[in-house]
Each structure stands twice: as C-alpha cells, then as structure tokens.
Amino acid sequence: MYLRVVVYCLFSLFSFVSVAESLYVFVPTEMRANKLEQKIDAYCDNVDVTVFGRAKDFHKKLKSQPPSAILSLRPVIEQNQIFDKAMMGLKNGSQEETYLLVSIGEPIQQSELPNTKLGVVDLLGRKPMRQFVEGALNSPVKLKRVTKLEDLLPLITFGAVDAILVSESQFVDLQSRSNLQLVASDIQVKIGLASAALTSSFSKSQLRDCLLAFDKNLNSTLGVDKWQTL
C-alpha cells in the first residue's frame, strides 16, 4: 500500500512537470534578463518563464523548443504566426509608439537614408531585421545591429553609425544621459508595443491573469502602461 502511494505521488509530480506551460519573453530593456525573469515569474504561477536578452538566443530556442506562449514586441509576434495574439500592451491609450532617427547636430533627411549607417536593437535577426527597417523607412539602409539598448549610445558617440533608431521614450532617456547634441528626425514610423501570443494549449485566462497582475514598475520596464485582452 505504501509503495503504491509513493508511485502515485511520483507519477502525479512528473505529470504536473510534463504539462507545465512555458512563456518565452523577449523585450529589449536595460534590465538584466535574469532579474526581469524573476520579476515576471513572481506573477505567473505554474508557468515556466524564460527571459532572453538577445534576439539570436530567443529565435534559436523558439525553433528548437517552442513554448506555450511568447511575450515580445509586436514585430516579433507577427513574425511568429504559429502563435495566436491574446494580449496587447497599451501606452497612453495607444498600441504603438513613434520611433525617431536620432543623430548628432543635424537631423537625417529622407534622401540621405540610403547612405546612412543606422544603429538598431536587433529584434528579428540579420535579414528579417533589415527587411523590416527598410520597409518601415521606405528606403534601403546600412544596418548595425546591437543586442542591448545601452549599446546604441556608444555607437553614435564614437561615430560607428550616423544615426540610431529609437522610440520617443528612449530618445528622452538618451538625452538625459548624454551631453551630445542629439537631434531627432520624425520619420512617421510607429512600431507596436509589447504583446503576448499563445498556442492552443495555453489558457488565455491564465495568460491574462499573469499579465494583468504586473505592477506599474514592471509594466514600465516592458514599455507599456497596461494590458488589453484581444
């Protein structure tokens, strides 16, 4: 009898582990991936949360071991159509944020783009990222991809690129941290904020409860004010 109880408990434990849902998170921030993972994990009961700091690592793991759900910026979500959109991040009532071309001294003109070396945080990988940026800017570009937001300022400071592509909020932050004469060109580009998508195995209510529980600071780190269920 005792042996049967032990076997049953072990079977139940392994069964629970085998069906545990997984959430992959890739949202470029200045917070270290392991710290962000701890913060998100605290709100997502019975979900195995993995936060990635680099696009390359995220996409590689996504292919080799697909998760139950992903949380990332909308261009990443839209690239991975095996997942169904479930939650959308909002900021100031909008699901998108304006992006700017930031340079030193003089703004970049549209006609100059083909000859401009442009720094970006990689979201999609080498070829997909170039295609995405060229489509957004309606121009061929020479891209310099970096893995982290904090790598952009050194790029432009030391002349490795002519301009960097950042959101409005990131531009404000860069201005506060640099003595450079940074100027922005409004290129009429908007990019979707962080969103979440899932497979059929992941309960939408479970994902909703997880994201809606995020506190103000965590939402701000992810670049949103709140979440909306789709």
Average pLDDT on 208-218 reads 96
Per DSSP bridges, beta strands 69-73 and 194-198 are antiparallel
For the cut 50, the answer to whether the pLDDT of residue 230 exceeds it is yes
User: Which pLDDT does position 201 carry in this prediction?
Assistant: 80
pTM score above 0.75: yes
Which DSSP string corresponds to 8-31? HHHHHHHHHHHT-EEEEEE---SS
The 10s digit of each residue's pLDDT in 4-35 is 444 344 444 444 344 579 999 999 998 999 99
What is residue 159's three-state secondary structure?
coil
The 10 Å Cβ neighbour count of residue 213 is 13
Q: How does 217-226 read in b/e, with b if 16+ C-beta sit within 10 Å?
A: ebbebbbbee
Round to whole Å and give the CA distance between 134 and 141: 6
72 pLDDT band (50/70/90 cuts)?
very high
The 10s digit of each residue's pLDDT in 98-150 is 999 999 999 998 899 999 999 999 999 999 999 999 999 999 999 999 999 99
The 10 Å Cβ neighbour count of residue 183 is 17
Query: Contact at 8 Å (CB) between 103 and 161?
Result: no
Average pLDDT on 64-80 reads 96
